[in-house]
């Protein structure tokens, strides 16, 4: 248990060591094999943004490899998306095989808590823009319900990933960090077709009438509309 705790603390601090200088060193190292790709990525995406993307990936323990896939995603998404947070989501989609396998258990089984559409809609409506980026500010009762749903499986020793939509993922991840909940948060685009998703329950923060069924529960691997192959 102590080893796992130390691993999480160290892993969560790695992003602090990723700045422009470190990002440039990685790019310089990649030039030997992917010179044209490195130059194109730097032409399209500012150095500070590339460093920010690298930092966000490392913050969530995503290895910066294969670098070819990361650079390719920057080149593809960079012309239409300059926001570092959203650009990171595109890079994560390119790394979906690595990300999925890193959280799978027993080979190819990925236990998840699925965030329901009602909760996703409320999260989107509760975003406040600040000088340092979007900030999620849920109503107190909704926040309490959401955190209770997330923490309940942890009391039984489970450690599932949260599964939500592409645009909600980073907001929910930021919320968990603020409340010191160490669970991976994945989007449907993070899922590889090689992985089987095992729903352990659903997450909501909107009260429903007694007996009402969840509206959004995945019962298998992500379908083609939610995750690329």
Using CA atoms in the order 73, 166, 170, 34, what is the torsion angle rounded to 10 degrees?
-10
Give which of 212, 213, 186 is closest to 198, Cα–Cα.
186
Q: What is the pLDDT of residue 221?
A: 42
d(CA 213, CA 205): 14
Q: What is the pTM of this model?
A: 0.82
Q: What is the pLDDT of residue 223?
A: 38
Q: What is the pLDDT of residue 3?
A: 39
Q: Using an 8 Å Cβ cutoff, are 126 and 136 in contact?
A: yes
Element (H, E) at 111: strand 109-115
Q: What is the pLDDT of residue 21?
A: 92
Q: What is the pLDDT of residue 168?
A: 96
* Ordered DSSP codes for 172-189: HHHHHHHTT----EEEGG
Q: What is the pLDDT of residue 107?
A: 75
Q: Using an 8 Å Cβ cutoff, are 155 and 177 in contact?
A: no
Q: What is the mean pLDDT of each run of 10 residues along the chain (229 residues)?
A: 39 61 94 97 96 95 95 97 94 97 90 95 93 89 93 85 96 94 96 95 74 43 37
Rg (CA), the chain: 18
Cβ contacts of 74-82, under 8 Å, gap ≥ 24: 74/41, 74/44, 74/45, 74/50, 75/37, 75/40, 75/41, 75/44, 78/41, 78/44, 78/45, 79/44, 82/45, 82/46, 82/49
Q: What is the pLDDT of residue 10?
A: 39
Q: What is the pLDDT of residue 70?
A: 98
């Amino acid at each position: 248990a102590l080893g796992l705790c130390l691993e999480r603390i160290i892993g969560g601090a790695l992003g602090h060591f990723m700045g422009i200088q470190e990002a440039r060193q990685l790019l310089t190292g990649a030039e030997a094999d992917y010179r044209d790709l490195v130059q194109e990525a730097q032409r399209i995406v500012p150095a500070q943004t590339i460093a920010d993307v690298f930092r966000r990936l490392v913050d969530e323990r995503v290895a910066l490899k294969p670098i070819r896939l990361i650079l390719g995603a920057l080149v593809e998404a960079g012309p239409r998306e300059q926001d570092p947070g959203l650009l990171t989501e595109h890079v994560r989609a390119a790394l979906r095989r690595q990300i999925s396998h890193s959280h799978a258990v027993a080979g190819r089984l990925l236990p998840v808590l699925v965030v329901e559409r009602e909760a996703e809609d409320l999260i989107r409506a509760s975003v406040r823009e600040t000088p340092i980026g979007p900030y999620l500010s849920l109503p107190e009762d909704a926040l309490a319900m959401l955190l209770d749903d997330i923490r309940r499986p942890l009391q039984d020793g489970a450690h599932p990933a949260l599964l939500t939509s592409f645009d909600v993922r980073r907001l929910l991840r930021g919320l968990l960090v603020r409340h010191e909940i160490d669970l991976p948060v994945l989007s449907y685009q993070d899922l590889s077709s090689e992985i089987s998703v095992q729903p352990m329950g659903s997450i909501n923060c909107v009260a429903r009438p007694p007996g009402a069924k969840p509206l959004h529960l995945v019962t298998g691997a992500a379908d083609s509309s939610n995750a690329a192959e």
